[in-house]
Amino acid sequence: MSHFTTIKVEIKDGEVLHQALRELRYKVEQNALVRGYQGNKIQADYVIRRSNGYDLGFRREGDEYVLIADFWGARINQTQFINEVQQKYAHKQLQRTAAEQGYTIEAEEVLEDGTVRVVVGRWI
120 vs 11: CA distance, rounded Å: 22
Q: Is 87 left (phi over 0), alpha (psi -120 to 50) or beta?
A: alpha
Q: State how many domains the chain has.
A: 1
Digits of tens for pLDDT over the chain (124 positions)? Answer: 568 999 999 999 999 999 999 999 999 999 999 999 988 999 999 999 999 999 999 999 999 999 999 988 888 999 999 999 999 999 999 999 988 888 888 888 888 887 788 888 888 7
Q: 81 lies in which domain range?
A: 5-121
